[in-house]
Chains A and B, each alone.
Chain A
Amino acid sequence: MTDDEIRKEQEIIERSKKDARAFGELYEKYFDRIFNYIYRQTDDEELSGDLCSQTFINALNNLNRYEFRGVPFSAWIYKIAGNEVNKHYRKNKGKKIFSIEELTIKELVERGDEGWDEELINKLLDFMKDLPIDMLQVLELRFFEDKDFKEIAFILDITESGAKMRTYRALDKLRKNFNIKVKYDE
């Protein structure tokens, strides 16, 4: 996000603090991304719709408390969405779900000449099942949401170095177990 875009967003936020209708612009901008982020953690459209609405209601209700802290406004919305999802799982005491699109995996992970088969995808899913939740959260934000480490740290309430460490550990494990190269690999 460029400085100009951030400044424009800040202007909308300031306007929204006085008139909630102005927030509609940010709602339209981030609705899809937040919906997908929640949907990936619930695998339930209706529930995602509810949690997504609640996320924006909470954001609007607490907009006066929002201050720019070096990360884009979207990170703040993601943080609220994450809290809503966690609240839902705490309340319902269910297993946390990560639903991943097959196409996205194929886009993100390069298999060289070998290509993908059903068995390999199942192996990868089994491998991910054994990864700790905090690692999965970081991977999700980094590779599915294209967030940088600063934003990830803000969203998950961890340090930037902590976010990097979790990502690299998870990637190391992936590389050790599978002969793959992840896109954006640093």
Chain B
Amino acid sequence: MSRHEIRLRRKRITARGRERFRNYDAVLKSHEETQRLKKIMKVFTLFTIILILVMLIIMVFRWEKRMTYIPAKENFEITFGTKQV
């Protein structure tokens, strides 16, 4: 069984038939809407990237701060008892 169908048209589509669909204003409107959405997406993506970067910077600062506040370890002097004879 073939995957396509061949149909025979007895009449040509008229110019009037096509005219119903000719509407450049609608195409332009749709394009402008798409451009607007693209802009919004761009701003949102940029905002998200900046937010992630700021969060990373904050995390790094906090980590650094925590590292500097760790109390210095006491030096234990291990003295071995001397064997008294």
Contact = CB atoms under 8 A, between A and B. Distances in A.
B7 A99 contact: yes
B4 A136 contact: yes
Interface string A163-179: 00000000000000000
B32 to A, nearest CB: 7
Contacts of B27: 27, 53, 56-57, 60
A45 interface: yes
Interface of A: 20-21, 24, 27-28, 31-32, 35-36, 39, 43, 45, 48-49, 52-53, 56-57, 60-61, 95-104, 121, 125, 128-130, 133, 136
A181 to B, nearest CB: 21
A121 B9 CA distance: 12
Contacts of A128: 6
Q: Is the interface of B mostly helix, strand, loop or mixed?
A: mixed
B45 interface: no
B3 A96 contact: yes
B6 to A, nearest CB: 5
A129 B18 contact: no
B31 A20 contact: yes
B20 interface: yes
A57 B6 contact: no
B1 to A, nearest CB: 9
A164 B5 CA distance: 24
A35 B19 CA distance: 10
Nearest to B11: A101
Could you say which of B5, B10, B12, B24 has the most chain A C-beta atoms within 10 Å of its C-beta? B24
B28 interface: yes
A100 B8 CA distance: 5
Nearest to B28: A20
B34 interface: yes
20 contacts: A20-B32, A21-B28, A32-B18, A43-B7, A43-B9, A45-B17, A45-B21, A48-B21, A52-B21, A53-B21, A57-B30, A61-B35, A98-B5, A98-B7, A100-B6, A100-B7, A101-B10, A102-B8, A133-B3, A136-B4
Given A53-B21, A98-B5, 15 more contacts: A28-B22, A32-B18, A36-B13, A36-B18, A49-B20, A95-B4, A98-B4, A99-B9, A101-B12, A102-B9, A125-B6, A129-B4, A129-B6, A133-B3, A136-B4
